Amino acid sequence: MGAEKDVYSRLRGSIVPMVTPFLEDGSFDEKSYRELIEWQIESGSHGISCAGTTGEPSSLTIEEREYLFEVTMDAVRGRVPVVLGTGSTNHAEALRLTKTAERLGADAALVIVPYYNRPSQEGLYRHFRAIADSVDIPIILYNIPGRTGVNLEPATMARLKRDCRNIIGVKESNKDFEQVTRVFQACGRDFLVYSGIELLCYPMLALGGAGHLSATANLMPREVARLYDLVQAGKWHEAIDLHFQLVDINEALFWETNPGPVKACLAMMGKIRPVVRPPLALPGEEMTAKLRGVLTSYGLI
């Protein structure tokens, strides 16, 4: 779909950053993944995203990522928007993956700031500009300085929005919440800004955010989607209550590096096998026991 489609109205709400489930031998567990997508859609999630941070993209080969894209598009079957994570530390790979997302008919590509390279703002501009110019598919920038070591500055985003008609928004996983106001100020309040920080999902909506890509939605899709729905309905007090109800689990899922805790919890819920690819590791016995206690308190097990 091109940027001419009404993506500004469709790409809103809880767009779930899916885990990538694996079998015991480390191969892709397609059956469980398809079941997770069905559960997400049945639970009211507004969109599906794959191969973001929660999906362990750096542990997948480029061919595995492309197959994951194909499975995602086939499983969703147009029922909700799909945002495919196409970013990479390798510029050529990001170009290839973004073109694949366009070919498959994704609603948007989520393109992360290249990690490890620590590019300058000019380098980031040229990277994203080249990707955007190579396709017609809408592009959502992905700013997560805690993982990449570099902050995509609001002025650079504004420059990209000005020069690339298909750059439509940003997933902000920046704990400096002042950045969000600066992004809106620089890019305009029509820019689609999503929260990638679980404790900032509600505050982002209060500033006019388009929604959130929250790892917590892997466990509690109905509640995370409802947070957006309540704000849209003007039920601010109920939304604030729900925000605080989710605090404990939002924090627990980041006691260790994402998606280790998320996958451990999904395994305890019987949704997937407890497998991550090295160099990540699942939480140990003590941490798993603490996570089990949180799941129990929410009635998830």
| One-character DSSP codes across 229-266 | HHHHTT-HHHHHHHHHHTHHHHHHTTSSSTTHHHHHHH
Catalytic residue among 171, 194, 202, 228: 171
Model pTM greater than 0.85?
Answer: yes
Q: Is 171 a catalytic residue?
A: yes
Residue 54 among known ligand-binding residues: yes
Q: How many residues are given for the chain?
A: 301
**Which tokens hold the place of 34?**
């398809």
Ranges of each domain in the chain: 1-234
Catalytic residue among 33, 125, 142, 202: 142
In a 10 Å sphere around its CB, with 0-12 CB exposed, 13-18 middle and 19+ buried, how is residue 123 labelled?
middle
Can you give the pLDDT of all 301 residues of the chain as single tens digits?
Answer: 444 458 788 999 999 999 999 999 999 999 999 999 999 999 999 999 999 999 999 999 999 999 999 999 999 999 999 999 999 999 999 999 999 999 999 999 999 999 999 999 999 999 999 999 999 999 999 999 999 999 999 999 999 999 999 999 999 999 999 999 999 999 999 999 999 999 999 999 999 999 999 999 999 999 999 999 999 999 999 999 999 999 999 999 999 999 999 999 999 999 999 999 999 999 999 999 999 999 999 999 9
142 is catalytic: yes
CA atoms of 125 and 119, how far apart (whole Å)? 10
Residue 188, C-beta contacts closer than 8 angstroms, at least 6 positions apart = 161
- Taking the domain 1-234, which CATH number applies? 3.20.20.70
Distance CA 100, CA 84 (A): 10
